[in-house]
Amino acid sequence: MNVVVMRAGSWGATLAGVLAKNGHTVTLVAPHESLRRELIEYRENRSALPGVRIPESVRIVATPDGEIDVADAVLFPGPCDRMREMARDAVRCVGNASQWDNRLVITAAKGIAPDTLQRMSEVLGEELRSDAARIVALSGPSFARYVGLEHPTGVVAASGDNEKTKATQRLFGNENFRVYRSSDTLGVELGGALKNVIAIAAGMCDGLGLGDNSRAALMTRGLAEITRLGVAMGADSRTFAGLSGMGDLVLTCSGRESRNHHVGEEIGRGRRLDDVLREMVTVAEGIETTRSAVTLARKYGVEMPIAEHVHAVLFEGQRPKDAVTSLMVREPKPEQWA
């Protein structure tokens, strides 16, 4: 297949490599000149993913002009705050908007727009003037570095169109990258986005030096919060026990490659959010998703105390230690899942 990857960030470049190794014709869009030159010259992002090579067969270009109109599949890897911009760049390259329904459109970004509360498939559906239910969401426990190093990884492709999820399995699947499929796009996208909020909280626990007991309890109750909200919004509760729910949560709350965990850990150590972000090369999607999570919880009448306290620490000046204490002294209640 002829595939265009719409952004050459860590995840986009890594997935472009997977696709190229699978024998597809891949074009990677790198609009920033300095990064584009680096990727072309060294075939790797030396600051974000040193040692992860981009195959020579991947074409690296400045814009998608002349590429989208001949593409069989278009991948939108994020970051989430650039999703509309990427979609509009893609639309500009295609004369007939109805052609989007005939292409395989995939989002691999994990977030919820804080202004509209839309999932990334919904953002793409709106901008492409296409049926969001036919867009595929690719999610699961998959740090870019380990995918790039060809460590065995399992993810899930979700869409209301079963043929498109099957096509995504064929597109990406190989001996190191296994793709399952799901029809619960809502649950898959919510799990992938909301686990980042819990990962920030887990990082705060580690930054405070609270140890494994605290992190285990936090992750378990965090998954309960995610499931409660997902079910209230119409998702299948079983989805959150899968790769895009529990699987991604475990990885992001405990893996050292987690950007969201890193942010939380530094804040737990007493640093300011702005100072932490200023040093980061890549995006921690959970920061903006925390705003979305709290807004959605209030909209659907769902209790999400961990997300509420992450929001209070990030944006309202609460101290991480006080957030932990507040969570622990709440009124005792039976354990509930959803």
Catalytic residue numbers read 195
Residue (of 132, 121, 117, 122) closest to 299 by Cα position: 117
Residue (of 297, 80, 310) closest to 203 by Cα position: 310
Residues in the chain: 338
What is the DSSP track for 57-95?
TSEEESS-TTTGGG-SEEEE---GGGHHHHHHHHHHT-S
Q: How far is CA 306 from CA 194, 218, 253, 295, in A?
A: 11, 8, 14, 13
* Longest CA pairwise span in the chain (Å): 61
How many whole angstroms separate alpha carbon 313 and alpha carbon 303? 18
Residue 167 one-letter amino acid: A
The angle subtended at Cα 252 by Cα 58 and Cα 24, nearest 5°, is: 20
Residue (of 285, 287, 336, 286) closest to 315 by Cα position: 287
Q: How far is CA 234 from CA 51, 237, 246, in A?
A: 42, 9, 18
Which two three-digit tokens encode residue 296? Answer: 């959605």
